[in-house]
Structure formats: C-alpha cells, structure tokens
Structure 1
Amino acid sequence: MILRRLSTAFRKQDWFTVFVETLIVVFGVFIGLQVNNWNEARQDAVSERQVFERLRLEADQAAIALVDHRAVHASNAADITSLVARMRDETACSDYDDPKAAAWLLGVGDFPGPRFDLLTARELSATGRVALLKSKNIQNDVRQIITELDFIDEHWRRYLRIKQDAEQVYLAAGFVINRSIVDDIERGQPYAKIIDAYEFTTPENLCQNADLIALASNAAQTQAFYVAYLDQLSEALEVYQSELADYSNGRWPSLSRNEQPR
C-alpha cells in the first residue's frame, strides 16, 4: 500500500508525500528492529538469571561435597602415616588383627576420585556461551574455577598410579578375603564391618621392609599433596561463590541463595 502511494507521489512529483511516506517506512523498520532487540535483551536477561541460579546452586553443592572429599583424603593420609610407623616398628608391625591397623593397610591403595563438578560452568566455558554472562569479571571467574577443577582432576589421575603401586604393600601382607563373611555383608553396612572380611596371612613381610616402607611413605606423601591442592581449590571456590553472590545480589536483589533453578 505504501509502495503504491510512493509510486503515485513520484509520478506526480509530490515530494512532500514522498518524504512523509519514506519517513513512515524508515520509522516502521526502526521500531520493528527496536522491538526485536528489546525482546532479545529480555530473553537474554531471563537466560542470564537462570544460568546464575544454576551456577550458584552447583557451586554451593560442590563446596559441601569438597569438604567431605577432603576429609576422606586427610584421614587416609594420617592413617598411612600411622601404617608406616607400624611397619618400621619390629614389635608391632606383624599385628594386623586390630581392625584399625587392618583399615590402615587396606587404605594404602585407596584414592577415591572427586564426586562433584561444576557442570553449568564447564558447559559455558567449553561452548563459548559464557558470553551470556554480562560481567567480564564473572566470565573470567567461570573460566578460572574450571581451570582449578581441571588441575585437581589432572593430579588425581597422576597420583592414582602412585597409590595403585602402593597396593603391593597389602599384597605382600598376604591379603585374602574370607568369602563366608563377605557373603553375609549386606548393602549399607558400616565400613568397619566390611574390614572383618579381610585377613592378612603374612603381615611379618612388612616388618622393616625398606622397599615397602618407601611405597607406603610415597603414598602418604602423595595423599598429603593432594589434600593441599584440595585446600587451594576450596579457597578458589569460596572466592568464586562470593563473586557470584555479590554480582547476582546486586543485579537481582530478590534472588535467594537457596532458590531452586527454574
């Protein structure tokens, strides 16, 4: 319709009409673009908030899991240190009837991996969707915390081989399983009960054995280093949580820390 009026105005050399109709066309296109931009900006804002909700929730969950993960490894490091002391003690080293000592011996090769991750942060970092976050500082924080997680995963994989080598210690002690006890163990029973399923038939092989003591000592040192790296991750995660909280509380004051993602 407008094009027809413009064509007629050109033929009649009605320049005022041409100007008005052209202005209407340009203004209409401008308004259409602006509405589209406003809609995209609104959708981006909604998406950003939803992403922040997930980022904060998974960071909180990871922090809780990290505390438990660190406690397991710190306890294991202490136990292996006690094991090394027993192996060096000629009088005590052959006595592994004590469930605590048996647990120390079994734990020398134990090295559980992390059971937590920041999946939303990792996906944003890997796909480039981190640009959805309007703050450059937060974008950098997301990338940095993933780097920290990757560092932990890299060292866990590296140290796992050292811990696996240390399994030679309990194998030398004549590690065997009492099948009748294992058959009676039900799911969910405490770890101390499960320890009863194992016997060590030649614990005297550990007494002052320099090679085995070296393997156990290396395992303890490895576990201690890993705990130190977990402490570094814990500090980085606390900073990350604080940055997320400060930004989202300033941008969306009503956003509760415990709010579930929609």
Structure 2
Amino acid sequence: MEKNKTGKYLKYAIGEIVLVVIGILIALQINTWNQNKQDSKQEKQILSQLIKEYESNLQQINEKIYLRNETLNSCFKLLEYRKSDFKEIQVDSVDNHLFRISIRPTFDPELSVSNELINSGKLYILQNEELRNYISAYSSFLSELSEEEQVILELTENRLIPFLIENYQVGRMMMVLLDDKELRAKITMGKIKDYETMKNLVESADFTKMLQHPDFEDYLLQLISYTSYTNEQSAGVRDKTKNIIDLIKVEIAK
C-alpha cells in the first residue's frame, strides 16, 4: 500500500479468481458432458432391454386373447349342442370344447426392467417424457384386467370344473391338451414335447346329462359374459403395450 501497488495486486487477485471460476466451469461442463454421454449409453442399453420386455408382453397378451376367443367359440358351440340332436354329436367334439372352456388364461407380464428403473429412480435416464409416463403407469393398467381374470378363475375352478366332475367323465377331455399341438403351444411354457394320444385309454362318457343340465347353461352364459369383458380389457392393455413399443422404437432409431 505504501508503494501504491494495491490496484496491481487487486487486479492480479481478480484475475486468479476468474481463472479459478473458469476452470471450475470447464470442469463442470466436462463432467456434465461425460455424465450425459454415460446416460446416453445407458439409455440405449435400457431401451434394448425394454423393447424385448414389451414385445414379449405383447406376444403373451395376444396369446391370452386367442385362448379366450377359443373359450368363447366353445361356449357358443356347446350352447348349440344343447338344442341339437345328441345322436349327431361326436364325443370328441364335446371333449374338445369342454377342455377349451376349462382353460383359465392369465396375463403374467414381464416387468423386471421396468420395475428396476422405477424402484431405483433411474427412470429419468429415458429422455422421452411420454415413454416415462407410460412405463410408470403400465402396472396400474393391469389391475382391472387382473381382477376380471380372477373372476373367471374362481368361476371355472370353484363351480364349473366341480360341476363337470360330478356330471361327466373329465379324464378323456383332459387328453385334448396332448393331442392339440397348437393349443398346447399357447398354454404350456418351454419346448413342446410330442405325446402319443392316450384318449383311447379312457372310455367315452355320456354327455347328455351334462348338456341337459340347466346349471350348465348358466355357467356357459356367465363364462361368455366374463370372458368377453376380460378380452376387452386385454385389448386395452395390448394397445398400451403397442404404444410403448412404438415409442421405444422411435428412441432407438434416434
């Protein structure tokens, strides 16, 4: 201060501060750039996992809709049989339709990747806000469908199947699964194994008592009602699944 050098040192100090600030800003920018690069790489990996997850879900939901349509067709056919000449009805046909109405298809989605993103708080890595919203809300889309599936499950297991056991010989109808490869492929998991038919080992049963029973008609009509509504719910889930897949494909293509 005695030599009037205060201004010089003040300028020097300000210059040092400016250099430090610039250095910090550059470091932050580099760190942000590296983080964005890392997030972008991670996002691509996550998107590739998500597309597999939701394409698998789409395939499964389509198979469940197919199986329920099989159930509906069999319900209507059995209602027709009630008004037909029983002598013209083949027991194999009755068994085929009975087996199809006893199927209880349920949608069990694969959500491991989605749940990991949500639970870990990493959903932000996905840049597309619409995609984030769809994924976070997807589980809630399934709640009503699950409830309707449970209604069918309870009707079939608690009322329909006990009725069939009491009024029909169900062993032969269960052999349908072994003979129908296409149906078995949509019901069973894993590799399909070939079986020799075993229905000839089980004697044919008289279906007239069952078809004429008034409770059977009630079960069929209830099943038609529940299954139709459940398929409507499934169609809604299918549309949402397709939307997610389309959004993922857009992000992958960028």
Q: TM-score range by the shorter chain?
A: 0.7 to 0.9
> Contact 2:148–2:226 at 8 Å: present in 1 too?
no
**Under a length normalisation based on structure 1, what TM-score does the superposition of the two structures give?**
0.73
Residue 41 of structure 2 corresponds to which residue in structure 1?
46
After superposition, give the CA deviation of every residue in 1:90-123 in whole Å (9 maximum; x if it has no partner). 742996x622211222333321222543432343
Indicate the SS of the match to 1:14: helix
**Correspondences of 1:65-214 after superposition (within 5 Å):** 65-86=60-81, 88-89=82-83, 91-92=85-86, 98-164=91-157, 165-175=159-169, 177=171, 188-189=193-194, 193=197, 196=200, 201=205, 203-214=207-218
Q: 1:243 corresponds to which residue?
A: 247
- Percent of aligned positions that are identical: 14
How much is the aligned-residue C-alpha RMSD, in angstroms? Answer: 3.4
2:100 & 2:85 partners in 1: Cα distance?
22
Deviation at 1:215, TM superposition (A): 1.6
Partner SS for 2:241: helix
Count of residue pairs the alignment pairs up: 233
Relative to total residues, which structure has the larger helix share, 1 or 2? Answer: 2
For residue 259 of structure 1, what is the aligned residue in structure 2?
Answer: none
Please give the TM-score of this superposition, normalised by the length of structure 2: 0.75
Distance 1:139 1:110 in 2: 35
What is the distance in 2 between the residues matched to 1:106 and 1:23? 81
Paired letter, 1:239: N
Within 2, Cα distance between the matches of 1:93 and 1:20? 105
Trace 1:210-225 onto structure 2 (pairs within 5 A): 210-225=214-229
Give me the whole-angstrom Cα distance separating, in 2, the residues matched to 1:81 and 1:126: 45
Closer, same or farther in 2 for the Cα pair 1:126/1:19, shift >3 Å?
A: closer
- The 3 A distance-change label for structure 1 pair 115 and 141 is closer
Cα deviation, 1:177-235, whole Å, max 9, x if unaligned, reads 47xx9xx99x8236x93655655645343142212221222123222222222222222
